[in-house]
Amino acid sequence: MAPTKVLLVQLFSNGDCLYATAIAKQIKQDFPGCRLYWAISPACKSIIAGNPYVDETLEVSSVAKNDEFAFRKFIKQVNQDKRLGKWDEVFITHIMGANQANYDGSIRSAIFRGYGRSITVGATIVLQLTEKEKENARQFAFNHGLSDFRNVILFEFAPQSGQSSITHEQAILISEKLVTRDDTAIILSSSRKITHENSRIIDGSVLTIRETAALTHYCSFLIGCSSGITWLSTSDGAKRLPMAQLLDPYTKWVNPPSRDFKRFGLDIMLIELIDFDIDKAAACVNNAMNDFENARVKYNQEIPLHFRTTRSIVYNLLCYLEFPAIWKHILINNQTYGFNLSFYKEVAMGFMIFPFRLAKNLFVKRILKANAK
Inside any domain, residue 129: no
Evaluate if residue 258 carries a pLDDT over 80.
yes
DSSP result, 222-256: EEE-SSHHHHHTTSTTS----EEEE--TTSTT---
Q: What are the contacts of 201-210 at 24+ separation with CB within 8 A?
A: 201/172, 201/175, 201/176, 202/144, 204/154, 204/155, 206/140, 207/136, 207/137, 207/140, 208/46, 208/133, 209/14, 209/46, 209/47, 210/46, 210/47, 210/49, 210/127, 210/129, 210/133
Q: Is residue 68 part of a domain?
A: yes
What's the whole-number mean pLDDT along residues 95-124? 97
pLDDT at position 199 is: 95
Domain at 229, CATH number: 3.40.50.2000
Q: Which residues pair with 272 in a beta bridge?
A: 245
> Do 264 and 359 fall within a single domain?
no
Q: Is the pLDDT of residue 368 over 70?
A: no
Residue 354: its pLDDT value, please? 94
At 165 the pLDDT is 86
Is 104 strand, coil or helix?
A: coil
Does residue 256 carry a pLDDT above 80?
yes
Which of 182, 186, 233, 236 is CA-nearest to residue 212? 233
Task: Let me know whether 168 and 98 are in one domain.
Answer: no
| Average pLDDT, integer, range 28-40 | 97
Rg (C-alpha) for the chain, rounded Å, is 22
pLDDT at 371: 65
Assign 361 a pLDDT band (cuts: 50, 70, 90): confident
The pLDDT of residue 372 is above 70: no
Task: Out of 268, 299, 330, pick the residue that ends a domain.
Answer: 299
- Residue 247 belongs to some domain of the structure: yes
Which helix (H) or strand (E) segment is 273 a member of? Answer: strand 270-273
More confident residue, 167 or 184: 184
Region 149-165: what's the mean pLDDT? Answer: 87
**Do 86 and 187 reside in the same domain of the chain?**
no
**Whether residues 16 and 79 fall in one domain:** yes
Can you give the residue range of the structural domain that contains 321? Answer: 308-372
| Whether 294 and 319 share a structural domain | no
Cα separation of 280 and 147, whole Å? 27
CA triple 297-302-305, angle to 5 deg: 165
According to the model, what pLDDT value does residue 1 have? 58
Domain boundary among 248, 279, 299: 299
* Residue 213: pLDDT over 90: yes
pLDDT for res 159:
67
User: pLDDT band at residue 3, thresholds of 50, 70 and 90?
Assistant: confident
Task: Classify the phi-psi angles of 54: left when phi > 0, otherwise alpha if psi is within -120 to 50, otherwise beta.
Answer: beta
Same domain, 110 and 164: no
Residues 363 and 320 grouped into a single domain:
yes
Q: How confident is the model at residue 80 (pLDDT cuts 50, 70, 90)?
A: very high
Same domain membership, residue 158 and residue 269: yes
Are 275 and 206 contained in the same domain?
yes
| 244, 274 contact by CB (below 8 A) | no
Is 89 part of any domain?
yes
- Is a pLDDT exceeding 80 seen at residue 100? yes
pLDDT above 90 for 55 = yes
Are 291 and 355 members of one domain? no
The pair phi, psi for residue 170, each rounded to 5°, is -65, -40
Are residues 175 and 280 located together in one domain of the fold?
yes
At 151, is the pLDDT very low, low, confident or very high (cuts 50, 70, 90)?
very high
Choose among 251, 207, 261: nearest CA to 230.
261
Q: Is residue 74 part of a domain?
A: yes
Q: Across residues 313-329, what is the average pLDDT?
A: 97
Q: Is residue 286 part of a domain?
A: yes
pLDDT value of position 85: 96
pLDDT at 335 over 70: yes
**Mean pLDDT, the chain, integer:** 95
The amino acid at 317: L
Dist CA 60 CA 35 (whole Å): 19
Same domain, residue pair 241 and 191: yes
pLDDT at 158 over 80: no
pLDDT confidence tier of residue 364, bands split at 50, 70 and 90:
confident
Which residues, 6 or more positions from 204, have their beta carbon under 8 angstroms from its beta carbon?
154, 155, 187, 188, 189, 190, 194, 212, 215
Share of the chain above pLDDT 70, in %: 97
Smallest CA-to-CA distance from 300 within 264, 261, 267, 274 is with 274
Alpha-helical (H) ranges within the chain are 14-30, 68-83, 107-115, 131-143, 168-178, 209-215, 228-232, 257-264, 278-290, 292-299, 308-318, 323-337, 341-372
Q: What is the mean pLDDT of residues 139-156?
A: 98
Kindly state whether residue 276 falls inside one of the protein's structural domains. yes
Which segments of 31-130 does DSSP mark as H helices, in order? 68-83, 107-115
pLDDT surpassing 70 at residue 212: yes
pLDDT band at 360 (very low <50, low <70, confident <90, very high): confident
123 domain-assigned: no
Domain boundary among 95, 115, 135: 115
Q: Which of 309, 223, 317, 305 lies closest to 270, judged by CA?
A: 223
In the prediction, which pLDDT does 157 show? 84
pTM of the model: 0.94
Instruction: Using the predicted structure, report yes or no on whether residue 268 has a pLDDT greater than 80.
Output: yes
Question: pLDDT value at position 58?
Answer: 97
Total count of domains within the chain:
3
